[in-house]
Amino acid sequence: MALSSSYLLITTILVILIFVSFSNAQPTSSSRPQGVVLPVTKDASTLQYVTYMKQRTPLVSESLVINLSGEFQWVDCENGYVSSSNRTLSCSGKECPWISGASCGRPPRPPGFQPCRGFVYLSNQGVFASDVVSVPSFINGSKTGPDVAVKEFVFGCGSTSLLQGLAKGVKGIAGFGPFQVSVPSQFSLALRIPRVFSMCLPSSTEASSKGAIFIGGGPYKMRPGIDLSTSLSYTPFYTSLVGPNFTSGYYIQVKSINIGGKKVPVVSDNTTFDSLGFMKLTSISTLIPYTVLPSSVYKPFISIFIEKAKAMNIASVAPVAPFGACFNSRNIFITHTGGLVPEINFVLHAEKVAWRISGSNSMVKVSDTVSCLGFVDGGEFANLVIGGHQLEDNLLEFNLAKKRLGFTSTLPRQTACSLFMLGEKFLAAT
């Protein structure tokens, strides 16, 4: 009897140990974060958007310029990058083939370790590595939770000279493009969260005004109790463009543009339109501050805007570079969506789907008495590029799995990208 009791006790203990071990090795969906969230600020000097995350061992907070079409994250490894968990990637490892710009060349002789090298930024060579990255988790669409870490986050190691032209104090660039090693793709894979990320860029350069990037999907709850995931319109996006130069990023179809209900006339030729009647090569950029239009579109665009503004008793003044149309601010009535000026609509893949651009996203204040239309002439062969000013205070959701862009246009009344209910910890993050 004693032997039987002892055998039963030992068997029970073994079963419990095996169960506990299996549970620890297989994290459940409830133990994983809904997603992660990154703060965003706007640099006053360069008009670039900057995000923040912790990297290395021990962790150090790093500021990074956001590049919506960037393939990966790169940081300055030349000046003070010290980490006990930093690991140079090998050409023979699984990660090197994920990077389109990586090139290993000939195998070393005698056989040995060969680092994964490639273009880190523009035409500058560097090595690729992995290290620990830590960011706040995102709970129920409304607040930050405990920090979560990715232990083998792939990034490029650049030199200090590559920081020239970037916002003061940043350590590199965070790429959010449609690539296997982009920031959202790596977090989605490592944390097993949906391949969806959203950004809400701030319109103010004040340090206390922070927008947010969410990785993992919504809801997106904002003061005073609005869930922006219920306000999204959707359009397909495309991730590659084949032409004289192959490029990747996020491209949408723009069928036409109208201002105050009047359609902008453009020449329907092979330069401006594709075979389906859509304007060619419409991309979205966080590095270009204002929307760029080809000359054939820009000239009638500003002409109609001036015409419609005049009908609203808004007087034109001499243009201020780089803008082609400017106005007397004292004639512009201020509303909850910015100045009351003619509304601009980019009609997308279907006539009923339009990206609406109100005064806060169309006008740029250049002095106390002058505001300009925040669109620029890119020249005869320019592509249509929707720039940063038109993205601000507009939630954009990029669903990488469905290749679908959700957008709110100008945010609803009494809201702004700085009004997410994410807590003091998030607001203090730098």
Task: Decide which of 219, 236, 261 is a domain's last residue.
Answer: 219
6 part of a folded domain: no
Q: 285 near 68, Cβ under 8 Å?
A: yes
* 8 A C-beta contact, residue 315 and residue 195: no
Question: Does 239 lie in the same domain as 175?
Answer: no
pLDDT value at position 131? 98
Residue 352 lies in a domain: yes
Q: Who wins on pLDDT, 133 or 102? A: 133
pLDDT at position 14? 38
Run of H or E residues at 187 = helix 183-191
Give the pLDDT score at 99. 92
pLDDT at position 338 is 87
Which structural domain range is residue 333 located in? 226-407
Give the Cα separation of 206 and 94 in Å (integer).
42
Q: Distance between CA atoms of 221 and 35, rounded to whole angstroms? A: 14
Task: Determine, yes or no, domain membership for 8.
Answer: no
Average pLDDT, the chain: 86
Q: How far apart are CA 225 and CA 415, in angstroms?
A: 10
Q: Please give the structure tokens belonging to residue 102.
A: 């990586």
Looking at the fold, whether 363 and 281 belong to one and the same domain comes out as yes
For residues 260 and 307, what is the distance between their CA atoms, to the nearest angstrom? 10
Spacing of C-alpha 290 from chain mean position:
16
pLDDT, tens digit, 9 for 90 and up, residues 359-413:
999 999 999 999 999 999 999 888 899 999 999 999 999 999 999 999 998 776 6
CB count in 10 Å sphere of residue 165: 8
Convert the pLDDT of each residue in 139-150 to its tens digit: 888 889 999 999
Looking at residue 411, what is its pLDDT? 77
Q: Write the CATH number for 293.
A: 2.40.70.10
Same domain for 318 and 193? no
Rounded average pLDDT over 167-194? 96
Please indicate, yes or no, if residue 171 is contained in any of the structural domains: yes
Mapped onto helix, strand or coil, the DSSP state of residue 230 is: helix
Residues 257 and 187 in one domain: no
| Residue 137 banded pLDDT, cuts 50, 70, 90 | very high
Q: Is 416 left (phi over 0), alpha (psi -120 to 50) or beta?
A: beta
pLDDT at position 113: 82
Same domain, 210 and 291: no
pLDDT at position 27: 35
- E strands, 223-261, are 226-227, 233-236, 238-241, 247-254, 256-259
Q: Which pLDDT tens digit goes with each residue over 322-353?
A: 999 999 999 999 888 889 999 999 999 998 99
Residue at token pair 């501050």? 289
The per-residue pLDDT for range 256-285, each reduced to its tens digit, is 999 999 999 875 555 555 555 555 668 999
Kindly report, residue by residue over 38-88, the tens digit of the pLDDT: 999 999 999 999 999 999 999 999 999 999 999 999 999 999 999 999 999
Task: Classify residue 25: in a domain, yes or no.
Answer: no
Dihedral sign for Cα 36, 404, 175, 97, please: positive
Q: Quick check: 12 pLDDT over 60?
A: no
Q: Kindly state whether residue 429 falls inside one of the protein's structural domains.
A: no
Residue 395 belongs to a domain: yes
Is the pLDDT at 20 greater than 50? The verdict is no
Confidence of residue 2 (pLDDT cuts 50, 70, 90): very low
Number of compact structural domains in the chain: 2
Nearest to 388 by CA among 39, 68, 31: 68
- What is the spatial distance between Cα 66 and Cα 397, in angstroms, rounded to a whole number? 15
User: Across 140-243, where does the E strand assignment appear?
Assistant: 143-158, 172-175, 196-200, 211-215, 221-222, 226-227, 233-236, 238-241
pLDDT at 162 over 90: yes
Looking at residue 104, what is its pLDDT?
A: 74
Judge if 134 and 241 occupy the same domain.
no
CB distance 384 to 281 below 8 Å: yes
**294 shares its domain with 242:** yes
**Structural element, H or E, at residue 103:** strand 102-103
pLDDT digits (tens, 9 = 90+) for 183-242: 999 999 999 999 999 999 999 999 888 999 999 999 998 877 788 898 899 999 998 765
Please indicate, yes or no, whether residues 256 and 382 belong to a single structural domain of this protein.
yes
Q: For the residues 2-29, what does the mean pLDDT come to? A: 38
pLDDT of residue 418: 85
| pLDDT tens-place string over residues 90-126 | 988 899 999 987 877 655 555 678 899 998 987 788 9
pLDDT digit string, tens, across residues 412-424: 666 788 888 776 6
Token pair belonging to 26: 């297989």
Residues 6+ apart with CB under 8 A from 162: 74, 76, 120, 121, 122, 124, 172
Whether 205 is covered by a domain: the verdict is yes
pLDDT of residue 4: 44
**How many residues in total does the chain contain?**
430
Contacts of 327-333 with CB under 8 Å at 24 or more apart are 327/363, 327/370, 327/371, 327/372, 327/373, 328/369, 328/370, 329/365, 329/367, 329/368, 329/369, 329/370, 329/371, 330/369, 332/359, 332/363, 332/371
If DSSP codes are grouped into helix, strand and coil, which group holds residue 23?
Answer: helix
**CA terminus-to-terminus distance, the chain:** 67
Question: What pLDDT shows up at residue 380?
Answer: 86
Shared domain for 167 and 270, answered yes or no, is no
Strand partners, 334: 339
Are residues 168 and 230 both part of a single domain? no
Residues 6+ apart with CB under 8 A from 220: 141, 198, 200, 214, 227, 228, 229, 395, 420
Per-residue pLDDT, averaged over 301-314, amounts to: 97
- Pairing assessment for the beta strands 279-284 and 396-399 based on DSSP bridges: unpaired
Same-domain status, 313 and 184: no
pLDDT > 50? residue 89: yes
Kindly state whether residues 204 and 238 are assigned to the same domain.
Answer: no
